[in-house]
Amino acid sequence: MSLEASAGLFDLTLEADGDSDEEARRKALAEYAELRTAAGLPPGEPGYAIVYPPWQPERQRHRELFERAQALCEAGETSLAVVIAQAAFEALIRQTVEERLLAREIGGLRAHLHNYKAALQESQSRKLWLELTHDEIGRHRGWNSYLEHVKRRNDLVHEGVEVDQAGACASISAVLLLLEHIESLVPPRTDE
């Protein structure tokens, strides 16, 4: 189950076993409440929660997130749609980077990726991306639209700027274009 703050302050992923989605959700929410108490925070519910079945391949997590973003956009939940679309993009970036590190047998570096900026806005993040994928993503035809989406998402999360339907649709389109591009990359080579 992934619990993410609607104010965009943090993302939290909790694992909880259960015989049903509802039981797993209940356990994860109880663990979330315990974490808040341990941190000295008042009781509170997360902005939203998504349950991921344990049999779902990790590589497809970004697709589930993206489909959720599309559905939210269609339902008029434009702000959440923009935030979750970015979560889908970053999930695929992180997964791809981890796969490429493992393919080069340097998977031990994964532990050092906690500060890796999966939004790929920073030049250092793009340099690592280029080294691992041979993809100059910043030259992709959809890159500028993606940067507009990231600005929209950041304005929402950090400044509280509302996102209208047109903006949410533009974000969904921009993220989809890059997701499809990244998915089309050749799988990692092990002979590098």
pLDDT band, residue 52 (cuts 50/70/90): low
Q: Map out the domains of the chain as residue ranges.
A: 1-54, 56-192
What is the 3-class SS of 82-104, one letter each residue? HHHHHHHHHHHHHHHHHHHHHHC
Half-sphere exposure of 190 (CA within 13 A, CB side): 4
CATH number of 56-192, picked from 1.10.490, 1.20.120, 1.25.40, 3.30.450? 1.20.120
Type of residue numbered 131: E
Distance CA 125, CA 131 (A): 10
Tokens of 39: 């941190």
Q: CA 39 → CA 26, 78, 98, 116, 145, distances in Å? A: 20, 31, 30, 25, 39
- Average confidence (pLDDT) over 19-30: 80
Q: Is 55 helix (H, G, I), strand (E, B) or coil?
A: coil
Is the confidence at residue 172, as pLDDT, over 90? yes
- The confidence score (pLDDT) of residue 3 equals 46
Residue among 186, 154, 183 at smallest CA distance from 8: 154
Is the confidence at residue 7, as pLDDT, over 50? no
Q: Please, are residues 13 and 2 in contact by the beta-carbon 8 Å criterion?
A: yes
pLDDT tens-digit map of 87-146: 999 999 988 888 888 777 775 666 656 667 888 988 888 888 998 899 999 999 999 999
Return the H-helix or E-strand segment holding 13: strand 11-13
Q: Which residues contact 74 (CB under 8 A, 6 or more apart)?
A: none
The pLDDT > 90 percentage for the chain reads 43
* DSSP 8-state symbol, 184: T
What is the CA angle 31-46-1, rounded to 5? 55
